[in-house]
């Protein structure tokens, strides 16, 4: 049975897709069977991993019941991808049937035995798509920038996670908060770290020991249809993200120390 991990934060620009694409690629490099699911109508995960957005079927077609999930999955050099496009932006008003929170979970039942890991990238909002991801998942990773404004709205995120636990998925856990664009020499970064640790404690979780350092390679990689860990594997953020992949991978898929 696969481990289903959602990358989530209702704030945009905090590194969700960067984290999701790194996990998909990194786990695939380690020999794991991986599926990346793009639940963001912007389609950034598919674009980042080289897909031609607008071609073929998407998660929208699956949720609309117009195509089986197997037909929408695309195999790539970096793992399997279930892409998205702008049509998914209508989800909040289109998907109104009872138990709509369980749509994704029901479809993943059909395929989850084929994968070791399923990584879900979510939109920058707490809507029905995000709730579906939480209901279907075993765990969450919460990326955030090392700045004060990234802490704004975390209370709402906490409330949503608690509500999902109480109502739909009591086994949902938070693997950790991942600090992005972190500079340990800045007082601000240290202050944000302390506040993030308090938030993590309230969620029964932690801040990951590894923080993601800044680099222009992160912004450049999607234009080349790659994650930063394949585009610039020796860059600081790629090395940092590989450490996060190792945490997720566990002993079975952990990269040997000499290959890091």
- CB-based contact 208:247 (threshold 8 Å): yes
Assess whether pLDDT exceeds 60 at residue 258. Answer: no
Contacting residues for 245 by C-beta, under 8 A, at least 6 apart? 22, 23, 26, 27, 30, 229, 255
Q: Compute the average pLDDT of residues 16-20.
A: 96
Assess whether pLDDT exceeds 80 at residue 257. Answer: no
- Using a 10 angstrom Cβ sphere, with 0-12 exposed, 13-18 middle and 19 or more buried, the burial of residue 258 is exposed
- CB-based contact 83:56 (threshold 8 Å): yes
Give the rounded percent of residues in the chain with a pLDDT score beyond 90.
69
Q: How far apart are CA 144 and CA 148, in angstroms?
A: 10
Positive/negative CA dihedral, 156, 227, 47, 57: negative
pLDDT tens for 118-141 read: 999 999 988 999 999 999 999 999
pLDDT tens for 87-103 read: 999 888 888 888 999 99
* Residue (of 79, 86, 33) closest to 59 by Cα position: 86
pLDDT band at 260 (very low <50, low <70, confident <90, very high): very low
Mean of per-residue pLDDT scores for the chain: 91
pTM of the model: 0.94
pLDDT band at 146 (very low <50, low <70, confident <90, very high): confident
């Amino acid at each position: 049975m696969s481990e289903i991990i959602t990358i989530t934060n209702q704030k945009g620009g905090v590194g969700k897709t960067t984290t999701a694409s790194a996990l998909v690629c990194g786990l695939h490099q380690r020999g794991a069977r991986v599926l990346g699911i793009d639940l963001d109508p912007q389609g950034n995960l598919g674009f980042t991993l080289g897909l031609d957005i607008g071609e073929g079927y998407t998660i929208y077609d699956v949720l609309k019941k117009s195509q089986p999930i197997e037909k929408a999955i695309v195999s790539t050099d970096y793992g399997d991808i279930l892409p998205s496009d702008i049509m998914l932006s209508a989800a909040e008003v289109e998907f109104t049937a009872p138990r709509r929170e369980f749509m994704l979970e029901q479809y993943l039942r059909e395929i989850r035995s084929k994968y070791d890991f399923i990584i879900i990238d979510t939109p920058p909002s707490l809507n029905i798509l995000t709730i579906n991801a939480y209901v279907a998942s075993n765990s969450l990773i919460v990326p955030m920038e090392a700045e004060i404004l990234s802490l704004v709205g975390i209370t709402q995120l906490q409330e949503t996670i608690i509500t999902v636990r109480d109502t739909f998925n009591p086994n949902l856990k938070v693997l950790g908060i991942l600090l992005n664009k972190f500079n340990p020499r800045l007082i601000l970064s240290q202050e944000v770290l302390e506040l993030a640790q308090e938030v993590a404690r309230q969620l029964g979780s932690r801040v990951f020991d590894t923080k993601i350092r800044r680099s222009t390679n992160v912004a450049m990689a999607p234009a080349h249809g790659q994650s930063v860990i394949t585009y610039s594997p020796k860059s600081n953020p790629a090395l940092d993200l590989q450490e996060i992949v190792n945490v997720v991978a566990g002993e079975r898929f952990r990269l040997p120390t000499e290959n890091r």
